Chains A and B, each alone.
Chain A
Amino acid sequence: MIDVNATMARLERARPGTVILWTLLFLGGVVMITPIVFMAATSFKTGQEVYELSIIPDKPTLANYVFILQESKFMRWMLNSLWVATFSTASVLFFDSLVGYTLAKFDFRGRHIVFIAILSTLMIPTEMLIIPWYMMSRSFGWIDTYWGIAFPGLMTGFGTFLMRQFFMSLPDELIEAARIDGWSEFAIWWRIAMPLVIPALSALAIFHFLGNWTAFIWPLIVTNDPDIYTIPVGIASFNGEFQMDWEIVMTASCLATLPTLLVFLLLQKFIIRGIMLAGLKG
């Protein structure tokens, strides 16, 4: 039988904690959503109204959107970003999982050294790599090319590490059974191992795609031609030397957020699972 008194007592005890928890969550939510609301509000404001902190514009306008879509290269930048992020993500999924699988399931001399070398790349900040990347790009003629924007992210230490950990959890017998069944090592990786790590692949794909979509420093450095700009670089280009058109920047940011919002809504389940699995990024 349920002890009503005990249950009530437990609820009484839990209540202050629950209240604090919900308050913290609410405050966290407000902190997270305020800039987005403000960004959306600003996108409907005119230039004169930008510095007013009102959420609802006095004279709402769609002029900013019309300007962005008709008079800037925004759609071109969207396509550039989409192409670079998709290509880079596909490459990461292929190479990181292939290397991760090899490190997890093949026993060869120097395996641990290779793994540690790959892991150690995680400790080098991007800012340190930018100069060598730029020198490479200049030598190979990759400035102002999609390849130039994408090449540093075609393989990642993080992705390799993540995939290795997942492949390690696959039972060796599955691989051995497929080996006896007569499949090549590549076919075993593709047909057996890969389908079994789809949650990890999804997490990696989402993180990498979003990371590329919002990447700023490297695309800014490696591109000079506005036709090659990615979205963040394009948005930044609205800032003039003496003048900031915040309403335009905010409108462009709103539009740039839409695909990521869409990705989040569609893949919400995978993102949450991915965060839980990776335990590193968010």
Chain B
Amino acid sequence: MAEVTLDGVRKLFGSVTAVEDFTLSIGNGEFVVFVGPSGCGKSTTLRMLAGLEDVSSGSISIDGRAVNNIHPKDRDIAMVFQNYALYPHLNVYDNMSFGLRAKRLPRSEIESRTHDAAEILGLGDLLKRRPGELSGGQKQRVAMGRAIVRQPKVFLFDEPLSNLDAKLRHKMRAEMKLLHQRVQTTTVYVTHDQVEAMTLADRIVIMNEGRIEQVGTPDEVYKQPASQFVASFIGSPAMNFATGMISNSSRQTILETHSGVDIGLASSHVVQGRQVHLGFRPEHMQLADVAKPPKGHISISGDITVVEPMGHETVLTCDGGFGEIVGKYEGDKHFRPGESVYFHIRTDRLHYFDLETGIRI
């Protein structure tokens, strides 16, 4: 286990800035997930941490030791790659023990460590097989096994589940969490999948265009997104937004949307005249029979355009007049495109973001 610190880390590829001013401290045994869209710099940051990319400026330290100029093999890390990077000509046992042989450990220790890891990951029967004879999930386990036999200070995972189908991904996610609870090794995990980030992380680092947008627990980034980007990235389906100006009309605070539709807000902590994005999550929208909202709620109406029955819930995509809104409904009622519906949303579930900066108000 180790603490990892990145201080003002920057990465340039020619004139392109891939990572800008990345500062983060990762605690002992913590599971930190870097999440963001493709090209946001998350994998580059992980690769700098691994020593596979040079750092343009700033410093990285592991357990208090600056590692900027330290070779990957001397950083005491283990990495699991997106495509597993298993050596195709070696069997599972040799793949897993390859790193231990490089360290010239005694044969007995190599054997016991490899068999222990195989035991943990349920690979005992597959040790003689080559990667070509394994399924995606098995390959994934071998890649993890190769990391854990090394007993490194830090685990680095680069989108390790993205090549698996949805069902297997869910299973492996749970296994990964279980593994972390068991070995308690500091882990940095990169993904573009916000569900993976939410379910696995102790803390999530949300990145956009090379910069950190927010660092927080899954609960914090979900409930208190620091920016409109974070709000739109975390949550599925994504948060709905109405864009307009806060103003007063007949003793009520309203959002005058840019498309001309007014949304009554009852009250708001945002000053009048400010241009904002008003955000609300699909899961916080309650379907209602009447337009008038109860106290402490706002009301939004829309015409259904798409109905997506999911079994346990129905996702309704509607035209809200100010833009597209997506709501969730858990019930037995059936809907048809073209129907008008009302949603009530608690005012404390509303999020305000500055129109220009996107920062939470």
Interface residues of A (CB under 8 A from B): 171, 173-174, 176-183, 187, 192, 195-196
Give the B interface residue count (CB, 8 A). Answer: 22
Stretch at the interface among B84-92, B208-216, B267-275, B310-318: B84-92
With a CB–CB cut-off of 8 A, which chain A residues contact B88?
196
Q: Are B103 and A182 in contact (CB under 8 A)?
A: yes
**Distance between B186 CB and nearest chain A CB, rounded to angstroms:** 16
Q: Are B87 and A182 in contact (CB under 8 A)?
A: no
With a CB–CB cut-off of 8 A, which chain B residues contact A187?
102
With a CB–CB cut-off of 8 A, which chain A residues contact B232?
none
A179 and B52 contact, Cβ closer than 8 Å, known pairs A173-B81, A187-B102: yes
Checking A174, A182, A195 against B85 with a beta-carbon cut-off of 8 angstroms, the contacting residue is A174
Checking B79, B89, B103 against A177 with a beta-carbon cut-off of 8 angstroms, the contacting residue is B79
Checking B73, B85, B98 against A171 with a beta-carbon cut-off of 8 angstroms, the contacting residue is B85
Give the nearest-CB partner of B74 in chain A.
A182
**Distance between A126 CB and nearest chain B CB, rounded to angstroms:** 36
Checking B77, B83, B87 against A180 with a beta-carbon cut-off of 8 angstroms, the contacting residue is B77
Q: Are A183 and B102 in contact (CB under 8 A)?
A: yes
**Distance between A23 CB and nearest chain B CB, rounded to angstroms:** 42
Segment 261-306 of B: residues with Cβ below 8 Å from A: none
A181 and B73 contact, Cβ closer than 8 Å, known pairs A176-B52, A187-B102: yes
Interface residues of B (CB under 8 A from A): 50-52, 71-73, 77-79, 81-83, 85, 87-89, 98-99, 102-103, 146, 150
With a CB–CB cut-off of 8 A, which chain B residues contact A179?
52, 71-73
Q: Are B50 and A180 in contact (CB under 8 A)?
A: yes
With a CB–CB cut-off of 8 A, which chain A residues contact B146?
177, 181
With a CB–CB cut-off of 8 A, which chain A residues contact B87?
174, 177-178, 192
**Distance between A174 CB and nearest chain B CB, rounded to angstroms:** 5
Q: Could you jot down 7 A-B contacts, CB within 8 Å?
A: A173-B81, A173-B83, A176-B81, A177-B87, A182-B73, A182-B102, A196-B89
**Distance between B232 CB and nearest chain A CB, rounded to angstroms:** 31
A181 and B98 contact, Cβ closer than 8 Å, known pairs A174-B87, A176-B52: yes
Known: A171-B83, A176-B52. 20 other contacts (CB 8 A): A171-B85, A173-B83, A174-B87, A176-B72, A176-B85, A177-B79, A177-B85, A177-B87, A177-B146, A178-B87, A179-B72, A180-B51, A180-B73, A180-B78, A180-B79, A181-B99, A181-B102, A182-B102, A187-B102, A195-B89
